[in-house]
Amino acid sequence: MTHPAAAFARELIAALAAQGVTDYVLCPGSRSGPLAHALAEAASDAPPVGAPRVNLHVRIDERSAAFLAIGIARARALTGPPRPVAVITTSGTAVGNLMPAVMEAHHAGIPLLLLTADRPSELRGTGANQTTDQEGLFGAFVRWAANSSAPERAEHGGRATRLAARAVHWAIGETERDELATAPGPVHLNLEFRDPLGPDGGSWPDVGPGKATLLDRTRTRTRARTRLRTLSMPARPFADGTHGVVIAGDGAGDDARLVAEARGWPLLAEPTSGARSGDHALIHYVELLASEPGQVLAERVRHVVVIGRPTLSRPVQRLIDSAPSLLVASHGARWREVPRHAERVLPAVPEEWFRQGNADDAWLAEWRRACAAVAAPSELWGARAVAGVFVSSLTGGDVALLGSSGPIRMVDAVAPVWRAGHTPTLVANRGLAGIDGTVSTAMGLALALGRPISALMGDVTFLHDVGGLLVGSEERIPDLRIVVVNDGGGTIFGRLEHAKAPPENVRRVFTTPHRLDFAALAAAYGARHTLVKSAAGLTKALAKPPVGVHIVEAVL
């Protein structure tokens, strides 16, 4: 006889798959057993009749699993419409471990489906083991949360299918609310299961093709975007020849370059903007803005257009703060983080901004000259040099992940301006800029893309999520190279105001130095390890694409 829990789990997975959810990250546990059995069957070499095709990854640590899911979702978004990635956990503290990734996904606009198993309501508040208040645990960090009562024998089915449809709908940001407020994000389904939780050998249901396949959704979304692009904007938002700049933050995309070129304005593009190309993009813009001549130029700026979400440097933030006229578009998921003085905040770049104007060529030329005059500190070996070698090892089609703290800022300082259309894809968890989950995110990116990728991160960032290196013996190992900048701790704080404290205090409570043996660590996780101490050594270590996991430790 079929078990109600098992039947519900099969229907839910079948319905999610029909909605386009192909990737599942599962953590072990008993209460989530019905989902685990269903996924194991569907992902097996000989799936039962009617089971959907799914990509299954199994991880022990739920915090790492959820960041792995972020990596997978980021990879999917590089090649298509937003596609939710499911994370499955048992009850209790397992659920709480998802929170960091849920917060990042909320701010970065990444669709995650959190499927958390729970005791049935009659066992809650009775002292049952591993039972807590899971409903609503993620608070404002999820687009939608629903509790699903324990499946009953008398049920006819269909409930899991409807739940799946609504969950996907919310996760990809396709809601009826104000379009400005919608963006992909995490969704929580708290799923009660009553015993028995074991396998029942039951058959897979036919849930139909799914009300709307993701492909259909893409079409609706494209239409929505076109509509937004023609939103009525002031007929001439920028008078010809006015002095403006375009700031391209995380996730801006090529639109930022096109707008800068149409207006004839300089383009200040962060490395993960995807817009750091063409001849309007400037290098050394952070150093320029921090300098005297840069401040004089900044004072003459009339319009600041921000596309994407800039987070990396204080001089850029000051330019935004002091802009006499500020327009923001495609800023990311959470519009409350937009600077308060923005006159207009648009979900997408309006068509008018792309229309060619009569540019004041002298304005751009001044910026170019000023940037060229900023002497970039040259360095034989140091964090800048590592970033420089790392970035120059990347070519047009490459994807790389940048950790928070020093490394992404070094890349901002040294990365070239690429030829339009030849930019490597640089990604980073800039939603909340945490140093957590970075190894796992890189793993997820590499697994989902199915080709070698590389990551650059600091030593503390690496150690924070070193558990992300744990890939079980039954699991697929990605081809991933992680370049770790080992400068003996979190050195970013030494460049901030904290450095005024006595050095021994700064060391202990900010830098947090360690004595980690990275070679031993890599060996324990079955990863390759290479120690490099020079730019030439690093260049050599990066010459060939990685096979399996390869830790390149750049000791400063």
Ligand X SMILES: Cc1ncc(C[n+]2csc(CCOP(=O)(O)OP(=O)(O)O)c2C)c(N)n1
For binding to Mg ion (CB under 5 A), which residues are involved?
A: 458-459, 487, 491
Residues 531 and 493: their CA atoms lie apart, in Å, by 25
Stretch that binds ligand X, among 156-164, 251-259, 288-296, 432-440 (CB under 6 A): 432-440
**For residue 181, what are the CA distances in angstroms to 100, 107, 174, 252, 470?**
22, 12, 10, 18, 37
Under rule CB under 6 A, residue 315 binds ligand X: no
From the list Mg ion, ligand X, none, partner contacted by residue 461 (C-beta under 5 to 8 A by kind): ligand X
Residues 542 and 546: their CA atoms lie apart, in Å, by 8
* Interface residue with ligand X, options 12, 25, 326, 492 (CB under 6 A): 492
Under rule CB under 6 A, residue 487 binds ligand X: yes
Under rule CB under 6 A, residue 459 binds ligand X: yes
| Residue with the CB atom nearest Mg ion in the bound state | 458
Neighbouring C-beta atoms of residue 465, cutoff 10 Å: 25
CB 523 to Mg ion: min, Å: 22
Under rule CB under 6 A, residue 404 binds ligand X: yes
Residues 470 and 473: their CA atoms lie apart, in Å, by 9
Whether the ω angle into residue 196 lies within 30 degrees of 0, i.e. cis, is yes
Q: Residue 513 or residue 545: which is nearer to ligand X going by CB? A: 513
DSSP track, 331-356: --S-GGGS-TT-SEEESS--GGGGS-
Q: Residue 185 or residue 489: which is nearer to ligand X going by CB? A: 489
Residues 499 and 497: their CA atoms lie apart, in Å, by 5
- What the block records as the tokens of 263 is 């207006």
Under rule CB under 6 A, residue 271 binds ligand X: no
Q: Residue 443 or residue 482: which is nearer to ligand X going by CB? A: 482
Strand partners, 346: 329
Q: Residue 2 or residue 505: which is nearer to ligand X going by CB? A: 505
Q: Residue 262 or residue 428: which is nearer to ligand X going by CB? A: 428
Under rule CB under 6 A, residue 433 binds ligand X: yes
CB 107 to ligand X: min, Å: 13
Under rule CB under 6 A, residue 406 binds ligand X: yes
Residues 282 and 370: their CA atoms lie apart, in Å, by 10
Number of residues near ligand X (by CB under 6 A): 17
CB 371 to ligand X: min, Å: 24
Q: Residue 307 or residue 463: which is nearer to Mg ion going by CB? A: 463
Stretch that binds ligand X, among 147-155, 370-378, 445-453, 484-492 (CB under 6 A): 484-492
Burial 515-554 (b: 16+ CB within 10 A, else e): ebebeebbeebebebbebeebebbeebbeeebeebbbbbb
Residue 286 C-alpha from the chain's centroid: 24
**Can you say whether the dihedral through the CA atoms of 13, 116, 480, 255 is positive or negative?**
positive
Q: Residue 64 or residue 404: which is nearer to ligand X going by CB? A: 404
Residue of 485, 183, 543, 131 whose CA lies nearest to 332: 183
- Are the C-beta atoms of 476 and 443 separated by less than 8 Å? no
From the list ligand X, Mg ion, none, partner contacted by residue 444 (C-beta under 5 to 8 A by kind): none
Q: Residue 82 or residue 458: which is nearer to Mg ion going by CB? A: 458
Stretch that binds ligand X, among 38-46, 241-249, 308-316, 457-465 (CB under 6 A): 457-465
Q: Where on the chain is the footprint of ligand X (CB under 6 A)? A: 404-407, 433-436, 458-461, 487, 489-492
